[in-house]
Amino acid sequence: MTDPLRMHIHDDATAALRERIFDYARDRMQLDPPPLDKGMPFAELRAIMPDTVTEAGIGGDRALDLFGEILAPASMSTDHPAMVSFIPVAPTEASILFDLVVSASCIFGGSWLEGAGAIYAENEVLTLLAAEAGLPNGAGGVFVQGGTNGNLSALVAARFDAEQRLSIAGKTRPTRWSFVTSEEAHSSLAHSARVMDVDVIKVPVGADGRMTGADVAKAVGDSWDSVFAVVATGGTTNLGIVDDIASVVSTAKQHGIWVHVDGAYGLAGMFAPSTKPYFDGLGGVDSFIVDPHKWLYAPYDSCALIYRNPSIGRSAHTQHASYLDVLTDTDEWNPSDFAVHLSRRARGLPLWFSLATHGVAAYREAIESNNMVARDIADVIRNSDHLELVCDPMLSVVVFRRIGWAQEDYAAWSDELWEAGKAACFPSKYKGEPVLRFAIVNPRTTTDILMELVESLKD
């Protein structure tokens, strides 16, 4: 038998490549700081990058060289301490190391039959998240690829639940379904609505940006019959604002409506003593998501999706096919059954290993220290004549203006820092006006680093 992919050949050449790959990974993990690096226009990359995917192949050594010399430097390192745009990702070393182990272990994370051990550990983490949120025993779910999938899957379950209840009551469905969310909600919710072919009732929010139950009631008016879910945001991506979850829950419950919390970025704030109170009422929701790849220091890509009553998620999402019966006709916990997916990586394991290594208390401390850096730099900004805070930070996002600057001034400042490989701090927008934004989710992002950026805004 031939072995064209050399899968069972363990000779010096395969061993040498394996060592080189481990060395590469080891060296990358030890860079402190890692290079910021930056993207490159397609044409420039095309000009310097030889063809690699060829009929004969180029060999692993050459491919690794090209990755290290050309491709990696053309991809930004989100764990650079001065990468403060978007929501960066700064994984713990323990979680990165374990991501390698997950890859090497070839585990199908979709069914208990195949992945029991891995799923057991993933579920321990989901149980921790559910308990921290205040959900009752029995709550659980699955790690999906990202917040977008998590939100969509939760909303599909919510609509399924609403339809089941109507059908049990012998009532007809509304001609159009809708869900309710703040006008500050993440774009993935509008996308979910398009995918599901439902409408969104957008709730205008007050000056503090927090959606309340009263805001929801006002926006919905007498259209509750069309509503299958209310989505509160647990930390908006742009400003880190947490909706008033408790009052949203109480309004929605008066109408028997499912409440989902999109906490992709911010829900991790429930672990820090100073920001925990913002999440009051979370124990009353029907589902929530939080992305370990945002503020729980895990590598791309993962989102924890949790249902108060997982059996609804299961009924909404289980795929039926004759070749799957052996997997689905059981009472075991099959992660595939809880979202829009089937095959899945046991992507909760890197976070599990890191939590097991460091303990939950270390996470509380790390998240709290990101909050502290946010408050410290907000104080500096508040006391600077050339700057103005857009709002007091609730979590670890700080948004501010440089007084007297227009869009092109912000762009020139940020381009210069980026070109120099010093920082990635791109202008954002708030109510149509350009602003600057620090998203602080990296333990290596210190107040000093941000002070330097703030200083450089003077001239």
Ligand X SMILES: *Cc1c(COP(=O)(O)O)cnc(C)c1O
Task: Note whether 262 binds ligand X by CB under 6 A.
Answer: yes
Of 226, 74, 89, 77, which Cα lies nearest the Cα of 147? 89
Q: How far is the CB of 429 from ligand X (least distance, A)?
A: 16
User: What are the helix (H) ranges across 206-320?
Assistant: 213-220, 245-254, 292-295, 310-317
- Pairwise CA distance, residues 86 & 98, whole Å: 25
Instruction: Identify the H or E element spanning 118.
Output: helix 112-133
Residue placing its CB nearer to ligand X in the complex, 262 or 337: 262
Task: Note whether 146 binds ligand X by CB under 6 A.
Answer: yes
Give the total of residues touching ligand X (CB under 6 A): 13
CA 110-140-275 angle, 5° bins = 125
Stretch that binds ligand X, among 190-198, 248-256, 257-265, 377-385 (CB under 6 A): 257-265
Residue placing its CB nearer to ligand X in the complex, 92 or 237: 237
Residue placing its CB nearer to ligand X in the complex, 189 or 387: 189
Task: Note whether 265 binds ligand X by CB under 6 A.
Answer: yes
- Pairwise CA distance, residues 380 & 368, whole Å: 19
| DSSP state for residue 68 in the 8-state scheme | I
Strand partners, 402: 387
CB 209 within 8 A of CB 236: yes
Task: Note whether 394 binds ligand X by CB under 6 A.
Answer: no
Residue placing its CB nearer to ligand X in the complex, 112 or 438: 438
Question: Within 13 Å and on the Cβ side, how many CA atoms surround 71?
Answer: 11
169: left (phi over 0), alpha (psi -120 to 50) or beta: alpha
Task: Note whether 148 binds ligand X by CB under 6 A.
Answer: yes
Residues of span 216-235 touching ligand X by CB under 6 A: 233
Q: How far is the CB of 41 from ligand X (least distance, A)?
A: 24
Given 78, 153, 188, 192, the residue binding ligand X (CB under 6 A): 188
Q: How far is the CB of 300 from ligand X (least distance, A)?
A: 9
- For 47, counting Cβ atoms within 10 Å of its Cβ (0-12 exposed, 13-18 middle, 19+ buried), the class is exposed
Q: How far is the CB of 181 from ligand X (least distance, A)?
A: 11
- Pairwise CA distance, residues 97 & 103, whole Å: 10
Beta-strand relationship, 199-203 and 178-182: parallel
Task: Note whether 261 binds ligand X by CB under 6 A.
Answer: no
Task: Note whether 147 binds ligand X by CB under 6 A.
Answer: yes
Q: How far is the CB of 127 from ligand X (least distance, A)?
A: 21
Q: How far is the CB of 83 from ligand X (least distance, A)?
A: 15
Q: Which positions from 78 to 97 touch ligand X by CB under 6 A, shown as an x/- string?
A: ---------x----------
Task: Note whether 33 binds ligand X by CB under 6 A.
Answer: no
Stretch that binds ligand X, among 89-97, 123-131, 155-163, 259-267 (CB under 6 A): 259-267
Given 80, 159, 186, 437, the residue binding ligand X (CB under 6 A): 186
What's CA 220's distance to the chain center, in Å? 29
Residues near ligand X (CB under 6 A) are 87, 146-148, 186, 188, 233, 237, 262, 264-265, 291, 303
